[in-house]
Amino acid sequence: MEPFLKKFFPEVYTKMNEDTKISNYCKFDSQLLTSFTSSLYIAGLVASFFASSVTRVFGRKPSILLGGAAFLAGSALGGAALNVYMLIFGRILLGIGVGFANQSVPLYLSEMAPPNYRGAINIGFQLCVGIGVLSANLINFGTEKIKAGWGWRISLAMAAVPASILTLGALFLPETPNSLIQNSKDPEKAKLMLQRVRGTNDVQAELDDLIIASSISKTIKHPFKNFLQRKYRPQLVMAIAIPFFQQVTGINVISFYAPVLFRTIGLGESASLLSSFMITGVLGTFSTFISMLIVDKFGRRALFMIGGIQMFLSQTLVGGLMAAQLGDYGGISKGYASLIIIFICTYVAGFAWSWGPLGWLVPSEIFPLEIRSAGQSITVAVGFLFTFMVAQTFLTMLCHLKSGIFFFFGGWVLVMSAFVYFLLPETKNMPIEKMNRVWREHWFWKRIVGEVNEDGKMEVP
């Protein structure tokens, strides 16, 4: 929004409106603007490691509560910001909230969900993120029209609404059976909770698996250090590779700077916000909902591959069109702009039913209990680290690579699709405390962690 840029980032505002000699791809290249965006992710990265200890020692519920409280404080500071320092500090508090929530909520969902519905229930997390994006873009579109120029304050302060729901709602959440066994000496509490969430009294087999997993976890004093052991090598690779790949899909090009892209191809302020709202909001949310319905039927790998092909083709076509039609100066014809928007829609749909939700689902279901909290923290931290790096460098990359930035991210989509095809086993319908079996039966990972013989016993490599 122009009043927001004028108040906090006047250099960008001046370049955007007054410097006619600057390239279309370089108008928004400002380290201060990207620092504002990226401060959230560095704060989230650091917070996720603190969240690991809270989640493991005190349970999943306290982490969710702390995340909600940080969200509330951050939204208040952002809405009341008088200078860029208040703005960035509020953003840092929001980052702490995201760090705690992203560490604890996917774990909570995966541990509470029955194996046959774990994919759908966990994708509910990403679906609600999509609804949040939709709501944020709708609020931005409305508040941008406030003539007095203070609409941005409403946009930032409205984060307090979902923060309040999260904080108050968490007060009424029960703790997961896994956490109850891990932190309590009374397995009867966990059994009652299992019976309650499974809707049956026949939970003894699952309870026995939880008790065994808990007894193993209590022998682990330093989960991050233990993560380096050979038997956890597949989980360590996935904890790093999946969030890294999720960030280099290029989705941040669309989600963080969609209005910037649409202004780059010649759309005005209001039109760019509406395009961003329609694409990243409505289409992304709908596609994630489709993923939620089919993930437990078709599996994780199929969605990863379909989404990867879709993203690669659409990014290549967008890059080619922008290279051919959009120079450093001037705009682009309405026809070609519409075509670019169609391909961006195709890209967003592909991401929203593959790497978007599955990038959270798969890591949350593959870790054994003894390293689960640490593993999720590594996943979140790696995600934040590369989100920060992409967000901090994107506008500079856009300025230098121009339309080539789409080919850059398209190349990464090819790499990650090959990674999934060769190295990620299918995890659908596998009970979370028996997930080690998928690695022992995989053509590559069984060489590292051992394999299961015909009697069901593990053979050490």
DSSP code string of 190-201:
HHHHHHHHHTSS
Q: Report how far Cα 16 is from the mean position of its chain's Cα atoms.
A: 30
Q: How confident is the model at residue 454 (pLDDT cuts 50, 70, 90)?
A: very low
Q: Which residue has the higher pLDDT, 330 or 348?
A: 348
User: Both tokens of residue 292?
Assistant: 């939620």
Extended strands (E) in 23-106 = none
Distance (Å, rounded) from C-alpha 337 to C-alpha 334?
5
pLDDT band of 269, cuts 50, 70, 90: low
Asked if the model's pLDDT at residue 361 lies above 80, the reply is yes
| Block residue for tokens 């994919």 | 119
Bridge partners, residue 451, by sequence = 459
Q: From the centroid of its chain, how far is CA 439? A: 24
The model's pLDDT over 385-414, given as tens digits with 9 standing for 90+, comes to 988 888 777 777 877 887 888 899 999 999
Q: What is the mean pLDDT of the chain?
A: 85
Range among 104-118, 150-164, 192-206, 411-425 rated most confident: 411-425
Q: Encoding tokens for residue 107?
A: 């774990």
Predicted confidence band of residue 267 (pLDDT cuts 50, 70, 90): low
pLDDT tens by residue, 98-135: 999 999 999 899 889 888 899 999 999 889 988 887 88
pLDDT tens digits, one per residue of 72-82? 999 999 999 99
End-to-end Cα distance, the chain:
59
**Helix, strand, coil in percent for the chain, rounding step 5:** 80, 0, 20
- Write down the pTM of the prediction: 0.79
> Is the Cβ–Cβ distance between 293 and 120 less than 8 Å?
yes
CA distances from 290 to 133, 285, 301, 417 (A): 17, 9, 16, 20
Highest mean pLDDT among 142-146, 163-167, 253-257: 163-167
| Cβ atoms of 376 and 106 closer than 8 Å | yes
pLDDT of 27: 62
